[in-house]
């Protein structure tokens, strides 16, 4: 009765079932993730969360109570100094021994050494399976990291494609700009040639203008000299006019004298 009262429903009855259910959920989540089925991330999160909760609860599981067998068998005590326990020999009068009964029970249950060995192998396989589950959890985490890295690489490839398209457009625009630059260069060269020809014409016209200016200056110089000569001639003309007037007056006086003389001679 005391043993029954010391049992914990959570850790002795419920937790063993939770261990099995949690392991099943983790395996299903890993299967979803490995097969890349829909909802794989959700199933993996549920499985690992369940396993984490189970491990958290198992940390508070009370340790099993080890009874003090020295109270039943004093010979097991470390400070025992009495006589050694003499094992009782099985006799026909006392009946079969405990080991004999155990052997008989094992024979009746058909439990052979091969069965015990098979049980040991099963326990070893169970231990290996538990270790593989841990490795599987690591593999699932690694697969998740790989998936994240693949998605990141895909995003980077998309960015590279966009950058390549932008570069191609820029190169096309650069080619068009190069053609425009060549046309502009041709136009500049043509304009330079036209400016050279215009400068030559301008120099010729400027030289002709200089020649005309020189001729005009010479003409104006000659005209000034002619005007001066004309001025001098006008002065001489005035003097000539005065002389002619005097001569006319003298001739008139002489005519009067000759007229008087003729008149006098006729009379």
Whether 54 and 61 have beta carbons less than 8 Å apart is answered as no
What's the confidence (pLDDT) of residue 38?
A: 92
Please give the C-alpha separations between residue 189 and each of 184, 194, 196, in angstroms, as whole numbers: 9, 9, 10
Please give the C-alpha separations between residue 29 and each of 39, 56, 79, 134, in angstroms, as whole numbers: 9, 19, 55, 14
138 — pLDDT class (breaks 50, 70, 90): low
What's the confidence (pLDDT) of residue 42?
A: 93
Q: Greater confidence, 61 or 4? A: 61
Q: ∠ CA(248), CA(252), CA(255), 5° rounding? A: 135
Per-residue pLDDT tens digits for 13-60? 888 888 889 889 999 999 998 999 999 999 999 999 998 998 898 888
């Amino acid at each position: 009765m005391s043993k029954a009262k010391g049992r914990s429903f959570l850790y002795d009855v419920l937790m063993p079932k939770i261990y099995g259910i949690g392991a099943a959920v983790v395996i299903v989540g890993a299967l979803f993730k490995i097969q890349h089925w829909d909802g794989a991330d959700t199933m993996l999160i549920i499985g690992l969360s369940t396993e984490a909760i189970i491990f958290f609860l198992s940390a508070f599981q009370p340790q099993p109570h080890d009874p003090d067998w020295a109270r039943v068998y004093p010979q097991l005590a470390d400070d025992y100094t009495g006589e050694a326990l003499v094992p009782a020999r099985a006799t026909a009068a006392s009946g079969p021994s405990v080991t004999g009964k155990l052997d008989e029970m094992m024979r009746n249950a058909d439990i052979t050494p091969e069965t015990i060995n098979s049980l040991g192998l099963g326990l070893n396989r169970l231990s290996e399976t538990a270790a593989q589950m841990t490795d599987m959890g690591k593999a699932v985490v690694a697969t998740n990291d790989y998936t994240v890295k693949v998605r990141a690489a895909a995003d980077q490839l998309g960015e590279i494609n966009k950058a390549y398209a932008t570069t191609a457009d820029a190169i096309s625009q650069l080619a068009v700009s190069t053609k425009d630059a060549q046309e502009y260069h041709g136009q500049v060269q043509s304009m330079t040639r036209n400016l050279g020809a215009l400068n030559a014409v301008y120099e010729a016209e400027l030289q002709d203008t200089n020649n005309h200016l020189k001729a005009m200056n010479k003409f104006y110089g000659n005209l000034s000299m002619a005007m001066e000569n004309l001025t001098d001639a006008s002065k001489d003309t005035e003097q000539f006019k005065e002389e002619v007037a005097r001569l006319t007056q003298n001739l008139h006086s002489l005519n009067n004298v000759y007229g008087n003389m003729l008149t006098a001679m006729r009379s």
